[in-house]
Amino acid sequence: MEISVKCSVSNCKYYSNLECTAEAIEVNCDDTSMLASESRETCCDTFKPVDEGDERPRK
């Protein structure tokens, strides 16, 4: 089964056409707890900014 992860962070190395192309993703809480009440209390720790000249993976 193919899994699709939506993403709108266009300056991420793994971004391509509103999808994440990373092989695996890590999502954590913004604070040190392991509990979140809303999505805005979480963050994608897989994010890597695009450097000049970097090629992004394509799906």
Residue that the structure tokens 């089964």 belong to: 1
Q: What is the pLDDT of residue 20?
A: 96
In terms of Cα–Cα distance, which of 49, 41, 39, 43 is closest to 12? 49
N- to C-terminal Cα separation, the chain: 15
Q: Give the tens place of pLDDT for each residue, 3-57.
A: 899 999 999 999 999 999 999 999 999 888 899 999 999 999 999 999 877 766 6
- Distance of alpha carbon 5 from its chain centroid, rounded? 8
Three-point CA angle 14, 5, 19, nearest 5°: 45
pTM assigned to the model? 0.76
- As given in the structure block, the two tokens for residue 20 are 């994440």
**So what's the pLDDT on residue 2?**
83
